[in-house]
A and B are shown apart, each in its own frame.
Chain A
């Protein structure tokens, strides 16, 4: 067995056994132990921070979703439902191309360069749409007031947040569409604005799903009272 072939075979055998025992340790014992800890300590978070309204799951506070009208006949793209606060564009989001028995959302970004004409067109169009959607009679939106997050796609396409500036810009429109006083909706946005953690970690933001859930409740209360 002291031939070069024998030595190599012995070495590869040791490598294989090392890989197998480390696979059991790092690929079976470790993830199961962490799952056990996670499910015992933080079950809600470990299972996706899902939100329910009246017993029905309406999504996750961490995953952005679309608030669109039911697709109209003959239209390719869904129109945004302007009664709800709108999230950021998600131009990089895809659907599964393999294993097509599922309908999976593929997280991702547009990856368009800062000097790409296509991106310039997308941003210009998004800005025009934000101005058009949010301008009310007598209260036109100044294009210079449209914040960057309102016209750009996020890294994941699933950004659950918008900037407080974008939420504030949408508040008058949302109020008008829901027949609510504008200052009440503006106050709702303020109540749902999260600041930086410890004053400096992360960025100020508004969770769109949580805001829309609160808005729905507000609309419901104003109609019943």
Chain B
């Protein structure tokens, strides 16, 4: 069987698995976030936290909950790293310096998981398992909570958006934890390690020994993908054989990355009472994902570029067991979501392949996007699409029975503008200053791409990198930390403000003139809006980096 055909079949298998999981998982999540009942364990958790999960919050209260929890998380994770050297179970690893500790704390709390450290030499069991892996759960649950709050804004007949603490706890207890336990066992069955043996000597074939890290890898790996986090236990991330040992674990990890973001469209459809509206959103996500994957497969198999031409294939930075197809599938899935895990190194992709990973993030990670952030990003774009369609035919736009007025469109516009402003602004400043450029590993257009990629990845909370860039400098640790925080929480402010504004409106009954937002035409319109409004913003920057590199070869 040719590698292209085998790759296409893997792609089909992935689509089939996601389709199978779509309804059961989507319906389950809708029940979790709509149920009035609390599990016994949850009641115990609420008592320990000291909150009443029944209190309905308006958007400012919901936002305060998100910000308070995240602020405490950043501080806690920062201190955990700063004190690592003093804590037991740290394998004797030293404490992390202030700028890197800030960067890592911001990174894991914002669901970015950008890593300027190498896991195997820097982080012991306590920080990895008790700090970083915990944020993999809770930052994902926060993203889902905000998405659900926006959906409630569309569905609401009162101004309330639900209770943040209840959404946070339920997301962890009823969705992420059970799936993670099952997924971790599957990963161990494929060869992912799960032990606490620390650093130990292992004999080698030609004699001598090698020191290896042990660790709770499988339990962290599964939530790394499922929560679209992406922070690897080891430096090589999912390219490391102990994180991703074979073709089957690879396909399973891609499935884990995509399963919650795609199923959330079903949750959305169920919660607003019209599953078809969810399918229209899903169709737009799927179209972009399929298109990007096809383009990536094409450019990587064609392997244009001086180095891959001499080698006879684009295998630099790719593992034998995944090959071109398994690597391309993973690269697209990880950059079209907020994951940022990598099973191959994007910096050594063909020029155009690198560009596809960047454009995927720059579209705002909406196809299907991060857990929660993908859905709310797509819904904001749907609001903009409805608005543009309304302008074309001269009608007051409405979406899901709620009027899109000046206030709503202002919030949506702010949401859309934040990320490009952060990415392009900081890239420009970094290029203008003398020192950041010394971190570049590659000359020419690719060097510029490394910096553009870094801020794209940070502001969109992805976390993958053109990893030749030496990011462990004060400049990059600090600015990327700030960019990640602003790129996560400012959009959340506008999403929740939008949700609050929508929630106050009484739903309008659809009329003959209402745009059919559950129809294929709307999905097409949504994809076009995304490409034009978001994609074109980055076109000049892409032309200087990956396009210049890709078209030259």
Contact = CB atoms under 8 A, between A and B. Distances in A.
Nearest to A97: B121
Interface of B: 1, 3, 5-6, 9-10, 13, 45, 48-51, 64-65, 68-73, 76, 92-94, 118, 120-122, 129-131, 133-134, 137-138, 165, 168-169, 172-173, 177, 180-181, 184-185, 188-197, 199, 202-206, 210-214, 216, 218-220, 223, 234-236, 239-242, 245-248, 250-251, 305-308, 310-323, 325-327, 342-345, 347-351, 354, 441-444, 446, 449, 466-468, 549, 552-553
A3 interface: no
Given A35-B196, A102-B121, A152 B316 contact: yes
Interface in A82-137: 84, 88, 92, 94, 96-99, 101-116, 119-120, 123-124, 127
Contact of B69 (A18, A33, A159, A209): A18
A115 to B, nearest CB: 5
Interface stretch (A24-32, A168-176, A179-187): A24-32
A152 B307 CA distance: 9
A81 B208 CA distance: 15
Contacts of A203: 3, 6, 247, 320-323, 325-326
Given A112-B307, A115-B552, A205 B321 contact: yes
A101 B212 CA distance: 13
A101 B72 CA distance: 34
10 contacts: A15-B72, A34-B188, A88-B320, A94-B118, A110-B345, A148-B314, A159-B321, A160-B241, A201-B248, A203-B247
B172 A25 contact: yes
A48 B212 contact: yes
Nearest to A202: B247
Contacts of A108: 118, 235-236, 467
B347 A201 contact: no
A34 B204 contact: no
Contacts of B185: 34, 37-38, 41
Contacts of A26: 133-134, 137-138, 172, 177, 223
Interface of A: 8, 11-19, 21-23, 25-28, 30-31, 33-35, 37-39, 41-42, 45-50, 56-60, 62-68, 81, 84, 88, 92, 94, 96-99, 101-116, 119-120, 123-124, 127, 144, 146-149, 151-163, 196-197, 199-203, 205, 209, 212-213
A109 B345 contact: yes
Contact of A39 (B181, B194, B235, B349): B194
B189 A98 contact: no
B246 A197 contact: yes
A6 to B, nearest CB: 14
B191 A62 contact: yes
Contacts of B193: 45-48
B320 A48 contact: no
A107 B236 contact: yes
A27 B317 contact: no
Contacts of B203: 56-59
A94 B236 CA distance: 11
A107 B129 CA distance: 20
A203 B322 CA distance: 6
Nearest to B173: A25
Contact of A111 (B73, B130, B206, B348): B348
Nearest to A9: B68
